[in-house]
Structure 1
Amino acid sequence: MNAPIGVIDSGVGGLTVAKAIMELLPNETIYYIGDTARCPYGPRTIQEVRNFTWQMAKALEKMNIKLLVIACNTATAVALESLQKHMPFPVIGVINAGARAAVKSTKRNEIVVLATEGTIKSGAYEEALHSLATKAKVIPLACPTFVPLVESGEYEGQFSYDLVANGLNPLENERFDTVILGCTHYPILQKQIEAAVGSEVKVLSSAEETAKDVEAILSYNNQLRTDKESPKHIFHASGSVPIFRSIAERWLDQGELTIRRISF
């Protein structure tokens, strides 16, 4: 089936998931929406995040997608269940995938979850992790400065290393061997996070596990793309297109991208 895969996020963070899908399923077309005008979602109310997520999902429904990835942990926590019930295509999030990756990796069942305030408050990661490893020690930490840093595009250089190290100061006296990047923006800061927590700690993104979920669902439903033409990805941003383009083309390394402004 040659319909596109939809990917939504509060901003540019979901590009980390889109990139993993592109690498695993290079024949598939992706339609992406980044709600950069209203990012970050972490400090917003549950109802606001739910409404914004539904707006993006309905926009992609009109574009005839075959599967939707909520590539935003905050949105996954509050909107996944309702979208799964009401959308005419499969809908998956990133939290269960991130939890699976962490449980596979950890040796001591000591797991840090770095995420937005909204995701941390939801308790969604603790629930997902304890459903897989009942004795896991979960250390949640909200990192409210990370998403604005990524969205600004100024995430390279010493300033970003200092800001990340400062944000992770509360972990100084904690014991852990695994870190989940519980926000899809955070893999863009992975080098900085790894430098702050040390080389003995495994730092994991949910992106690759999410891409495997996409492949499994499309394969099961016999919906993998068979057309051998090059996929024509389309990206949408509700805020500044030039800023989105700068980050997306750097991160995806796909050459010039088709990027359109979208309003809600």
Structure 2
Amino acid sequence: MNEQRPIGFIDSGVGGLTVVKEALRQLPNEAFVYLGDTARCPYGPRPAEQVVTFTRQMANFLMKQEIKLLVIACNTATAVALETIREELPIPVVGVILPGTRAAVKATTTGRIGVIGTQGTIKSHSYHRAIAAKSSQTQIFGLACPKFVPIVESNEYHSSIAKKVVAESLKPLRGKKIDTLILGCTHYPLLRPLIQNYMGPAITLIDSGAETVGEVSVLLDYFNIGNPDPANVGSCHFFTTGSTKMFDEIANDWLPVKVTSEHVDLGK
């Protein structure tokens, strides 16, 4: 396998850019290609079968870009499609749930962990099962926050509306005495300052996407597919199924590289 091939990232929209941002920091020798399915976002309310189909379409598109490793940078897609995509592709495939789980179990001192995510992620109980498998004494409090993704996708995550939505959505977690909160959707780190402000400085926030990049680094070493030559680092390429203008505005606000995305049509 050509070690200079890019690492692929797929997400329901712009949320996976939070993972790319961390990848740019941790893996400076690598090239990246990203596809956000903004035209069909959000995935959270969709039936599992449809999410699997959409995830497969995105994965197949990136395989045509000759990627060497795929990151499913979407918690909903990871929850319902990871194993299927792993079976279908000839390259390593990484999800975002297990790395976030490990970090949360390591961070908590009280054993009381909160998980916020889309309806699909919370309904799947994927974080609950993963945490319980690592620590049977841990109490887990899951909360769906369906309004968060639309706020981010509409580029309103700096607004006063976002502050109000965050406060209203997280209110059920008040009084649960959690000390650790998993941001179980890669869109949510764009709301991190608002989430941290509402929950308070004593609560440790776990960015599941950022934690995933550490696992990617391990797999690059394990399969011996890391790019050893920084002189041959490729550029980042970004694709979206929706508006390139909106995608580029968010990406350029969030990432340290210049983003000019291309529109793609994945079909019905």
Say yes or no: TM over 0.5: yes
2:150 corresponds to which letter in structure 1?
Answer: P
The within-5 A match list for 1:1-264 is: 1-227=3-229, 228-254=231-257, 256-264=258-266
Please tell me whether the aligned partners of residues 18 and 210 of structure 2 are also in contact (alpha carbons under 8 angstroms): no
Q: CA deviation at 1:213?
A: 0.6
CA distance 1:2–1:230, change in 2 (3 Å): closer
Quote the Cα distance in structure 2 between the aligned partners of 1:152 and 1:203: 24
The count of residues paired between Structure 1 and Structure 2 equals 263
Which runs of 5 or more residues in structure 2 are unaligned? none
Quote the Cα distance in structure 1 between the aligned partners of 2:79 and 2:223: 25
Please tell me whether the aligned partners of residues 238 and 263 of structure 1 are also in contact (alpha carbons under 8 angstroms): yes
Quote the Cα distance in structure 2 between the aligned partners of 1:180 and 1:186: 10
Q: Deviations over 1:36-82 (max 9, x none)?
A: 00000000000110000000000011111000000000000011001
Q: Indicate the percent of aligned positions where both proteins have the same amino acid.
A: 48
Q: CA deviation at 1:173?
A: 2.4
Please tell me whether the aligned partners of residues 4 and 233 of structure 2 are also in contact (alpha carbons under 8 angstroms): no
1:238 corresponds to which letter in structure 2?
Answer: T
**RMSD, aligned α-carbons:** 0.9
Please tell me whether the aligned partners of residues 21 and 256 of structure 2 are also in contact (alpha carbons under 8 angstroms): no
1:246 corresponds to which letter in structure 2?
Answer: E
Please tell me whether the aligned partners of residues 233 and 258 of structure 1 are also in contact (alpha carbons under 8 angstroms): no
TM-score by length of 2: 0.96
Instruction: Kindly report structure 1 stretches of 4+ aligned residues shifted beyond 4 Å.
Output: none
Give the 3-state SS of the residue equivalent to 1:37 in structure 2: helix
Q: Which moved more, 1:43-52 or 1:164-173?
A: 164-173
Quote the Cα distance in structure 2 between the aligned partners of 1:229 and 1:253: 19
Q: CA deviation at 1:112?
A: 0.3
Quote the Cα distance in structure 2 between the aligned partners of 1:26 and 1:261: 26
